[in-house]
Each structure stands twice: as structure tokens, then as C-alpha cells.
Structure 1
């Protein structure tokens, strides 16, 4: 299958030009397609799963445990290895892979390493599993099976090194396990041209290149899983090897940040140096790459995983692994977006940070253009000046249009707030989080069935409904109207608009200060201001008695604390109530004799 081929694309051309000696391994012309592999795997599972179920029910679990289970596991490994060795046929490969995995599971279980409640057992399982994956890749003639073995080997190796580091917990933030695997891949790629030039190592290069590339993809997948942000140290929540180790090791987290930034700078420097030596960079490209690398290093200081991703991406670009490089780019974007979402900074600090990064990029681009213009041909100076003036004029005009439109919209909303009638609309809140806009409460409004049926026949994005307002100001939707001037005594006209496939009143969300979601959970009504012409605006939430829910007071936006210290106002209020309730109970206890 060509998708798993590890022969470099430049190798045939280089061989024709006489730039290399020896011969490369043949292209994987007999590899089956992904569809054939999937269909073959389904056929194997349909055959083997019932057979294994009947064997388990007929022979009992004693046959699968103890000495019988060990013998059965070794037989499964032998049968699976023979099928893997038979050739690249899809059905035989799938059957061999299933038997091989079954044999691995039986051997591990009957060796007693299935109980992951201690580090020695887990280390033994990782070593044995990694060895079996290497053996399976050596036996298999199919590239796709070698790739699967490589990914699984990376998982076992990464967990092995992670468990080793747990004896010295201050090493865990440095993420040396992934860094070690990345270094091994760098060394493998560095020696690749020499191996390809040796006739005796051609087939071995193709086999193990697939395995190595798949292993580094496995490392990337583990980084994407967020192994350091989840419960890897507490496997299935049962092991507490390093509980409380963070206390006293804060310097390790600072060192990990500097190490991650240094990894990004190292990857950038290697790219610039290599590409410059190959003559692939133009005049200002090195400076631009270094600027981008510096900005990524700043991001890596906050998001530690970016260091390893940058090193893998640099190696992939230099070695022509374009799919791996693309995967690194996508994963890096995901990491940056997750960092923005997961950070507990106030929105003002997030906005200033994004603006600062943009300003640095703009300043760097301006400096590079000025440097290029200084060495430009004198005859081209006049047209360039006119072009710059035209660009500046367009930028100023765009800024005026943007700020003018924003201020016009703000002016209209201020009129609604100042002169609109206050009404309360019953709502059903839910509490998700917004990726870019902080905490908010999604709003749903209760509309009569007749109104909902009528809205289904409306194709325009807006509609109007008539609502009756009682003495408390609570509005109840009555019917659809075609003219927003049809309001009678004690009635108002409310605008509806279609958002995300649903009809909502003005908006589908109310935003409140970050960390105050619990405080606004008591909201039962949306507090609206409505003008006679049908314009309406949501200005807040009200409780069951119609009282406006005011945001809790908070400190300055810059008084941010990390970790557990960054408790929200509502969380602090709940803690104070809990402490007040617990203290009398503790005081009432009689001392023990």
C-alpha cells in the first residue's frame, strides 16, 4: 500500500542521476488498499470472535488462566507469527494480527502483570509489550502491520520511561520520555542516507523506516491525548505513586517551561541552518523563520508539549516526511487553541496577549520590509512609495469603516437600554463554555406550540411575536404577527431571529464574568428592554422574584493567580458558607478521653 511506503520520493531520481550507489527496496506495489484491509479485518473478526466465545464457554476460564493460558498464549503468538510471515495478503495479515494480539494479552495476563498497582509490574508489562511489537514488525511483511506495531511500541516505550521518571518526580514536568524518543528518531533520520546507499540494508531500511515513522506518530498521538494533563500517573485512578510531589518542586515546572522554549528555538535554528546550506531560503526568509520560532518559543513556555512537536516537525521537514509535518502543524494549532480555552486568565489578559503577539509579528514584518527596501533598486523607489501610500490609505479607510459600524451599533443599543420598556421573559438556562468569549449561559425560550408550527413555515431569518405583559413585567408569547406595530394595550412586539437552526429572542446566550457561573444559576428570567418599534436587548438575568442578578465584586483584572489560588468569587462564597456550617459542628464535639 503506497500510503505506508517509506521509500523517499527523491530516491529513484537520485539513483538515475548516479548521485547514490546501491539499490533501494522495491516500491510496495502489492500492499492492499485500506478498504480491502478493513473488509478483511471484519471477516476475520466475524470468524474468530464466535470461535473464541464458544471456546471460553466450553473449556472454562481455567483453560485461559494459569499454565494452560500461558501455553495457549504462546500457541497464539506462534500461529500469528506464521501468518504474519506468510506474506502481504490482507486476510492472512488480519488473522495473524488478531492472533498476535490475543497471544500478547494471554501472555501478559498469565505472567501476572495485568495488575497495574505497582511500578515493577507496569515496567515488566511495557518491556514485554515493546519486545513483542518489535518481533511482530520483524515477522510481518505488510507495511500497514509494521505501522500498527510501531504505534503500539511508542505507547509502551513512552509509558515505560514515564514510570521510570516517577521515582524522581521532579523529572516528570520535563517530559524527558517524549524528548528521548524524538532524539532517537532524529538519529535514525540522520543515518538514513547512509543506510539507503548500502545494498545489504535496503530491505531492512524500508521495514524499519515504517516502524520508526509510525512510532513517532504514536508519540504525537499521545501528546494529542494530553498524557501529562490527565491521569497517566494514576492508571485507572488506582495508583497514587506521586501524590503531593508537586510541593517543593515548583522549580521543576519553571525549568520545564524553559526547556520547552529551548526545544522550539533549537528546531528553528536547525531548520534555518540546513535550508540555508541547501540554498532553499531567500534573502529575508531566515529572519522571518527566526521571528516565527521566537513567537512559538513564547507559546511553548506556556504550553510545554509544543517543544516536542516542534522538534518532530523540524525532523519531518528535513527528511521529507510531509504527512508527519502536516500532523505536527495541525496538532500545534490544536494545542494553542486548547491553551487559550484552558487558561484561567481574565479575558483582558488573553486579549492583550493575542494583541501583543500580533504586534510583534507586524513589527517584524515591517522591519523585514524596511531592510529589503533599503537594498532595493533605486529606480523602483517611486512606484514603491506610491504603493505604500495606497496601502496606508486603504488601511485607514478600513479602520474608519470598522469603528464607524461598531459605534453605530453601540449607539442603537444604548438607545434601547435608555428608553426601552423592562420586561421579563422566562428562560431555561444551560451552562456550557465559550471557546473565545469566556463564561456564558445559553438561553432557550418557551414558545407556544402554535407559534413553533408557524415558525416552521417562515423562510426569512427574522420574525415577530406578540407577547402579553402582566403586572410583574413577565411577558408571555401569544402569537406570530406580520407587522411589528400590531401591539395592543399591555402587549409588546418581540423580535425573533434564527440562530444555529433555532428561533431565539434577540440572542441565544448571556455572557457573565468568568468564574461566576454558579452565581448566575439562579436566573429564571431574561431581563429585556423593548422599544415600540420592535427593537429589544437582553441586559441581564433576574431571579424567580424578578430581581436583577448583579455580578459579584472582584479584584482588578491583573490580579490573577495560577492553579488552585485562582478560585472564582462564587466558589469562594460557597467555601465560606461551608466553613461557617462546619465550624459550629466541630465546636460541638466533645473531646475524646
Structure 2
């Protein structure tokens, strides 16, 4: 149906003479997935056989890795450049496309300095982009080229004795400048239908390049809000903590550059979308936030360019990276939680007011008359929310007022960590292992059988299995945490700058009800001394 339109575009010089409409994929995705899996499994023994045929001596010789790598890579390129090749053959070429550069990389890192080897491999990935007409593979090659370029820059910057964060910031922003230059070249030179194939290769390659930059900028900001709680003990979180800045304002030059990038993003959007010019206050707010978050300005600039160019997937990735960076500011320890809350409340209120101002006229003109039932429903929902919240508050207050006091000794926690300046990890002395949450013998919450002495200091005896309690025994309910049952909680929150005070804690102070419900209400020091 669109073929006559394509012919007219070719006649007008907007498209090359061999341009044609791609035929949509007609194979069901399960068939594609199973075929690809079979190809990968078949490729592994095939590559092993090829390696055995070439021999160990050739692989370990000076020219061997390059010879074998180029041979395997050439075979992969020939397969991928074929027209209408079967899916199985195409998937056989993908492992070869990985093994060939891997062998070349082995030779380069063996015989050349690491920075030079990374640079040459980045250039190789760029060259493969023009040789392989597969958009999704070009995106991956662009990402590989960007990662290798970043590694080369980091090695070079490290020789200048920069700290880890400074080196990463400089490398990522240098890569961003290269992406901006490439985008300008694409717009000025390849914005012509006759060069559509070149522009397509450029687009796919530098999409992968941009994705690596965005991921690196998010990584350089550290762990983001909420993700830090679930990943705080992972190796990934530790690496992010080392790479992140220890102070949001410790690099004034980076902060200034970030603000300038944010203002440049606003200018580009205002130039292309004049309606946004009346909301310049939003640009100033984002520029101020970018000063405090040195990676945010670059992300905003990438977001604005992606929006202007209609690259919606890249824009979505930039938006996600921006949200991550803003959330990471929660862990900047040179700001108190109160000041951070006030900052975000002020920025959010101003941006919300601007959004309300923009949407209010349109909403007023199209808003339908509100049904009385809707008003009743909203009122009932709000009442239910308040009722449930107040019931929970009443239960906790009743437990504190009427629960029996109990003190449980603290055991050393490894590590006894302080998170975001207001959190202490707790570990209570229980001389035996508690069951796993996944233990099917405990479909509901288990109870811990304890005794208390004359000072109300409790000592754990055993896990409750339904046997009768002795006269001096009582039970306390366990709570699930990180795959195990813990004694009510494993954390104690306190005001910032009070870490030294609470580090003297030796006992946890609980209130316990006869049914086993318990609540941690405080910590005590040596000799039950209040803290």
C-alpha cells in the first residue's frame, strides 16, 4: 500500500534507489525464542571444535588471537549481512560476533597498554556498526563502544591522580560532549533522505552510546531512595557507594557545569517549543537542583534533546536516570533529613504550582459535572484511610501503655552500620538459629519462648511448637525480615548527629502483651542506664 509513496520519495531524491519497506516479522515470538536458544546451544560446541582445530599454539602465539578473532568475526559478519537468512543461522552468528572481538581483545590487552587497547576495541565496535545492518545489534555495539571509550578515559584520567568520582564525572561528561557532537553532525549533514542509511546507522549506534552515559551518570550518583534499603548489603551497592560523591557540593566546578547543562536544556526546549517559555521558573528550579546534583544537568540536557528529536525511548531512559539521581540525593550525608525534606517540598510545591497553572484552564473547560455519588465515594475512602491509620496508632499506644516491660541484650551486629545518618542495625542475643521465612513448618508467624529475671531482662529459650509454657515463661512474636524471623525489628532509627549517643546501647527495651505482640520502644545502656 505504501510502495507508490516510497517510489515517489526515491524519484524526489529523498530515499536511496534501493530503499524498500521492511516486511514485518511473521514468526511467533515463542518460535523465535526457542530457535535462538537452540542456535546458542549449538554454537558452543561448534566454537570449541573450531578452537581445537586451530590448536592451542596458534591461540597463544603473538598473531594467533588476531588471526582467529578476525576469521571468526568475518564469518559472523558475512552471515549477518546475508539477505533473508534463516533465524537459526542468524543466531549462530551472534556468539561468533562475541567470540571474535573477545579473541582480538585478548591479544590487544596482552600486547598493548590498557587505555590503548580499550580505544582500539571502541573503534572496532564503531566499525562493526557499518558492517552489520541490524539496528538492535548496532545499539549494542554503540553501548560497547561507549563503555570501552569510558574505560580508556578513566585509565587516562586516573594517571592524573584524580579521585574516583572526579574521574568518572569527567569521563561521562566527555562522552556526553562526543554524543552532542555526533547529534549535531547527524542533524546538519545526514538530515537528508539520500543519506538515510548512514543516518540510521548513526541513530542506532549513538542510542546505545547515550544509554551507557545515562547509566553511568545514575551509577555515579550512588544508591537511590528506597533501592538502598533492598540493596544495601549487595556488592553492587558497595561499588556505587564508593563511586558516589561524599558531598553534593564538594565539586564546585562540577556543580556549575551541571547547572549550565540544565539551563542549556531549558533554552533548547524553549527555542523549539515556545509555549514553554512562560515557565522559565521551572528551569531555574531544575538548575538549582542540578547544582546540588552534579550528574543531573547532563541528564536533563540529554532528555531535552531526545524530546526535541522525538526519541521517546531515549527520553524515557533519561527520565528514569534523572529520577534515580534525584532520589540518590536522599543519601547525601552533609544535608540533614529535615533540610532535604524542606528542599524537595519547596521544589515540588513550585513545580506543582506551575503544572496546576498550565493545566487549570484546560481542565476547567473540559471537566464534566461531578456526580454526587463520586463525592460520597471520595469522602468514604478518606474516612476509611483515616480510620485504618488511627486504629493502627491506637493499637501501638495501647501496647506501650499496658505492655509488660522487657529488656533483651544486644549482640554485636556485623556490620553495625549507620545508614543515611539515622539508622542503626540491631542484633538481639538469641543462642540458636531462628527458622527461615520459607520454612513450611511455620506457615504463620512463629513465637519465641523467653524467660525474664528480676530486672526484666529476657533470655531466649526456644521456638514455640505448641507445648505448654512453664510458670516463668512467656512468648513473643517474631517478624519476617530479609528471609529470616527476627525479634520485632532489626533497626533503630534516631535523629541525625546522635550516632555517638546510641552507640552505647546494650539492651533493647520492649513492651510485650500477653498474646505475644511486642514493640521496641527504646534502647538502654550499661546497667539499664537511659540514653
Contact residue 406 and residue 457 of structure 2 kept, 8 A = no
Q: 1:529 aligns with which of 511, 516, 519?
A: 511
Q: 1:132 aligns with which of 109, 117, 124?
A: 124
Deviation at 1:90, TM superposition (A): 1.3
RMSD between aligned alpha carbons? Answer: 5.2
TM-score (norm 2): 0.70
Name whichever of 180-189 and 464-473 sits farther off.
464-473
Indicate the SS of the match to 2:43. helix
The total of aligned residue pairs comes to: 483
Q: 2:211 aligns with which of 207, 211, 217?
A: 217
Match of 2:105 in 1: 105
Q: Which has the larger radius of gyration?
A: 1
Matched, 1:510 2:492: yes
The within-5 A match list for 1:75-474 is 76-86=69-79, 87-88=81-82, 89-91=89-91, 93-94=93-94, 96-109=96-109, 112-113=111-112, 115-116=113-114, 122=115, 124-161=116-153, 176-191=173-188, 194-195=191-192, 197-198=193-194, 201-226=195-220, 253-276=251-274, 290=280, 292-365=282-355, 368=358, 372=361, 408=394, 411-412=397-398, 415=401, 420-424=404-408, 429-431=413-415, 438-443=422-427, 446=430, 467-474=450-457
In structure 1, C-alpha distance between the alignment counterparts of 2:499 and 2:38, rounded to whole Å = 49
Task: Identify if the C-alpha distance between structure 1 residues 267 and 12 changes in structure 2 by more than 3 Å, giving closer, same or farther.
Answer: farther
Match of 1:52 in 2: 51
Deviation at 1:447, TM superposition (A): 8.4
The within-5 A match list for 1:508-587 is 508-513=490-495, 525-530=507-512, 536-542=518-524, 547-548=528-529, 550=531
In structure 2, C-alpha distance between the alignment counterparts of 1:53 and 1:519, rounded to whole Å = 66
Task: Identify if the C-alpha distance between structure 1 residues 507 and 169 changes in structure 2 by more than 3 Å, giving closer, same or farther.
Answer: closer
Task: Identify if the C-alpha distance between structure 1 residues 96 and 456 changes in structure 2 by more than 3 Å, giving closer, same or farther.
Answer: closer
Task: Identify if the C-alpha distance between structure 1 residues 96 and 477 changes in structure 2 by more than 3 Å, giving closer, same or farther.
Answer: closer
Deviation at 1:73, TM superposition (A): 0.9
Long gaps (5+) in structure 2: 83-88, 224-244
Long gaps (5+) in structure 1: 1-10, 117-121, 230-245, 551-593
Indicate the SS of the match to 1:194. coil
Task: Identify if the C-alpha distance between structure 1 residues 154 and 421 changes in structure 2 by more than 3 Å, giving closer, same or farther.
Answer: closer
Contact residue 93 and residue 142 of structure 1 kept, 8 A = no
In structure 2, C-alpha distance between the alignment counterparts of 1:450 and 1:153, rounded to whole Å = 49
Deviation at 1:322, TM superposition (A): 2.1
Indicate the SS of the match to 1:440. strand
TM-score (norm 1): 0.63
Deviation at 1:257, TM superposition (A): 0.7
Deviation at 1:179, TM superposition (A): 2.9
In structure 2, C-alpha distance between the alignment counterparts of 1:178 and 1:228, rounded to whole Å = 20
Indicate the SS of the match to 1:69. coil
Alignment deviations for residues 545-590 of structure 1 (CA, whole Å, 9 cap, x no partner):
654473xxxxxxxxxxxxxxxxxxxxxxxxxxxxxxxxxxxxxxxx
Contact residue 182 and residue 308 of structure 1 kept, 8 A = no
